[in-house]
Amino acid sequence: MRSKDARFDGWFFTAVLTTRIYCRPSCPVAPPKVENMRFYPSAAAAQQAGFRACKRCRPDASPGSPLWNHRADSVAKAMRLIADGVVDRDGVPGLAARLGYSVRQVERLLLAELGAGPLALARAQRAQTARLLIETTTLPMAEVASAAGFASVRAFNETVREVFALSPTDLRTRQRPAPHTPGVLSLRLPFRAPLRPDNLFGHLAATGVPGVEEWRDGAYRRTLRLPHGHAVVSLSPQADHVACKLALSDLRDLSIAIARCRRLLDLDADPVAVDEQLRSDPLLAPVVDAGPGRRVPGTVDAAEFAVRAVLGQQVSTAAARTHARRLVEAVGEPVDDAGLTHLFPTPSALAALDPALLAMPESRKIAFRALVEALADGSLDLGVGADWEKARADLLALPGFGPWTVEVIAMRALGDPDAFTPTDLGIRIAARALGLPDTPAALVRRAQAWRPWRAYAVQYLWATGDHAVNRLPA
**CATH code where residue 389 lies:** 1.10.340.30
Beta-carbon contacts of 319 under 8 Å, excluding residues fewer than 6 positions away, are none
- Give me the catalytic one of 84, 253, 268, 424: 424
Q: Are residues 280 and 410 in the same domain?
A: yes
Instruction: Compute the mean pLDDT over every residue in the chain, rounded to the nearest whole number.
Output: 92
Q: Does residue 348 carry a pLDDT above 70?
A: yes
| Position 320 in a domain | yes
Q: Does residue 291 carry a pLDDT above 70?
A: yes
Q: Are residues 297 and 419 in the same domain?
A: yes
Q: Are residues 287 and 387 in the same domain?
A: yes
Q: Are residues 172 and 289 in the same domain?
A: no
| Position 208 in a domain | no
| Position 241 in a domain | no
Question: Quick check: is 23 catalytic?
Answer: yes
Cα–chain center distance at 29: 31
Between 460 and 361, name the one with better pLDDT.
Answer: 460
- Give me the catalytic one of 5, 9, 23, 281: 23
pLDDT at 4: 87
Question: Quick check: is 244 catalytic?
Answer: no
Percentage of the residues of the chain whose pLDDT score is greater than 90: 78
Q: Among residues 179, 213, 248, which one ends one of the domains?
A: 179
Closest CA to 219 of 211, 231, 232: 232
pLDDT band at 21 (very low <50, low <70, confident <90, very high): very high
Q: Among residues 129, 149, 179, which one ends one of the domains?
A: 179
Q: Does residue 177 carry a pLDDT above 70?
A: no
In contact, 269 and 248? CB cutoff 8 Å: no
Give residue 31's domain range.
Answer: 1-179
Q: Are residues 164 and 21 in the same domain?
A: yes
- Segment 217-224 shows an average pLDDT of 97
Q: Are residues 268 and 155 in the same domain?
A: no
Q: Are residues 278 and 162 in the same domain?
A: no
Domain tally, the chain: 2
| Position 83 in a domain | yes
Q: Does residue 69 carry a pLDDT above 90?
A: no
The CATH number of residue 154's host domain is: 1.10.10.60
Q: Are residues 174 and 292 in the same domain?
A: no
| Position 164 in a domain | yes
pLDDT at 179: 59
- Segment 113-140 shows an average pLDDT of 90
Percentage of the residues of the chain whose pLDDT score is greater than 70: 99
- Segment 333-359 shows an average pLDDT of 91
Query: First vs last Cα of the chain: how many Å apart?
Result: 40
Q: Does residue 5 carry a pLDDT above 70?
A: yes
| Position 383 in a domain | yes
Q: Give the pLDDT confidence of 413-463 residue by residue, as tens digits.
A: 999 999 999 999 999 999 999 999 989 999 999 999 999 999 999 999 999
Cα–chain center distance at 19: 34
| Position 245 in a domain | no
pLDDT at 153: 93
pLDDT at 474: 78
Look up the pTM and report it.
0.91
Q: Does residue 178 carry a pLDDT above 80?
A: no
| Position 210 in a domain | no
Q: Give the pLDDT confidence of 243-277 residue by residue, as tens digits.
A: 999 999 999 999 999 999 999 999 999 999 999 99
Closest CA to 419 of 298, 252, 256: 298
Of 175-184, 208-217, 225-234, the poorest mean pLDDT is in: 175-184
Q: Among residues 144, 179, 214, which one ends one of the domains?
A: 179
- Segment 326-337 shows an average pLDDT of 94
pLDDT at 70: 76
In contact, 283 and 436? CB cutoff 8 Å: yes
- Segment 35-46 shows an average pLDDT of 93
pLDDT band at 239 (very low <50, low <70, confident <90, very high): very high
Q: Are residues 173 and 291 in the same domain?
A: no
pLDDT band at 182 (very low <50, low <70, confident <90, very high): low
Q: Are residues 150 and 273 in the same domain?
A: no
Give CA–CA dist 251/8, Å, rounded. 31
Q: Residue 70: phi, psi to the nearest 5?
A: -100, 0
